[in-house]
């Protein structure tokens, strides 16, 4: 059960409010649906997103039949209180087509380097870890144990540092990509997720409270803290 402050919200003339749903880990926008007061009360009661189906005229608990539920991590309202943003932990694809996101139809050329890609890569690696080690480098590396994974992180870290020291930008990009990938595998080997790292960085930064912006400390990292090959 979660608490949702419904009173400040502004529903339309039909008693509805649009909800944009975003993956809390990857940052992907997954879908847009509608909610009303009853569906938000059901969401609060269960902790899982429940919408209002305009076509069926009834409550719609996401994933009730497919199993692709969405556990609520955080719910926000926009400045006017007439649109909701739900951060969720999805149990599967959001779209009825089987796509992770309903927004998969590209209308322009694709933008490279989107900030959501690390999370998308993590979701991909979560699947690859269970693959046949003979077919997946990720699964093979994990099967070798934490010590081997740690060794690869060290190797890639040194190679990244050397590329930076040499001011070799193309090499730094390649080595940094290798390092980030192996850090993700290392998190998996340790039973962690990128979300655990982001949460620690948020704490050091000073997490915004009630939507207020926090100023960045002059040195958010302690002295002790400062110190992709996946193709198939």
Q: How far apart are CA 176 and CA 171, in angstroms?
A: 8
Whether 123 is covered by a domain: the verdict is yes
Structure tokens at 207: 């997490």
Whether 1 is covered by a domain: the verdict is no
Do 75 and 22 reside in the same domain of the chain? yes
Q: 44 and 3 in contact (C-beta within 8 Å)?
A: yes
What average pLDDT does the segment 57-78 reach?
94
Whether 2 is covered by a domain: the verdict is no
pLDDT for 95 beyond 90:
yes
Do 143 and 182 reside in the same domain of the chain? yes
Residues 77-93: tens digit of each pLDDT: 999 999 999 999 999 99
CATH of the domain at 149: 1.10.287.1080
The number of domains in the chain is 2
Whether 159 is covered by a domain: the verdict is yes
Confidence category of residue 227, pLDDT binned at 50, 70, 90: very low
Percentage of residues in the chain having pLDDT higher than 70: 89
Q: How far apart are CA 133 and CA 232, in angstroms?
A: 11
Do 69 and 127 reside in the same domain of the chain? no
Q: Which residues contact 83 (CB under 8 A, 6 or more apart)?
A: 17, 18, 19, 20, 77
pLDDT at 114: 86
Do 149 and 196 reside in the same domain of the chain? yes
pLDDT for 3 beyond 60:
yes
Domain around 127: 117-205
pLDDT at 1: 85
Residue 105 DSSP class: -
Do 133 and 197 reside in the same domain of the chain? yes
Whether 131 is covered by a domain: the verdict is yes
CATH of the domain at 66: 3.10.20.810
Residues 110-163: tens digit of each pLDDT: 998 888 899 999 999 999 999 999 999 999 999 999 999 999 999 999 999 999
Do 125 and 197 reside in the same domain of the chain? yes
Percentage of residues in the chain having pLDDT higher than 90: 82
């Amino acid at each position: 059960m979660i608490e949702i402050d419904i009173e400040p919200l502004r529903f339309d003339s039909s008693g509805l409010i649009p909800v944009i749903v975003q993956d809390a880990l990857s940052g992907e926008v997954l879908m847009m649906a509608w909610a009303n007061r009853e569906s938000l009360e059901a969401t609060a009661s269960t902790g899982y997103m429940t919408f209002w189906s305009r076509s069926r005229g009834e409550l719609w608990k996401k994933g009730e039949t497919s199993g692709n539920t969405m556990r609520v991590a955080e719910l926000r309202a926009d400045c006017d209180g007439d649109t909701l943003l739900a951060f969720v932990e999805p149990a599967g694809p959001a779209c009825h087509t089987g796509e992770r996101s309903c927004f998969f139809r590209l209308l322009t050329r694709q933008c490279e380097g989107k900030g959501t890609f690390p999370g998308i890569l993590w979701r991909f690696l979560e699947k690859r870890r269970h693959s046949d080690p003979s077919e997946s480098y990720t699964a093979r590396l994990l099967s070798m144990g934490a010590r081997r994974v740690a060794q690869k992180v060290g190797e890639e870290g040194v190679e990244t540092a050397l590329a930076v020291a040499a001011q070799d930008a193309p090499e730094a990009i390649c080595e940094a990509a290798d390092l980030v990938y192996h850090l993700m595998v290392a998190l998996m080997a340790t039973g962690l997720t990128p979300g655990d790292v982001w949460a620690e960085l948020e704490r050091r930064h000073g997490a915004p409270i009630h939507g207020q912006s926090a100023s960045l400390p002059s040195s958010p990292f302690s002295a002790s803290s400062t110190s992709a090959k996946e193709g198939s």
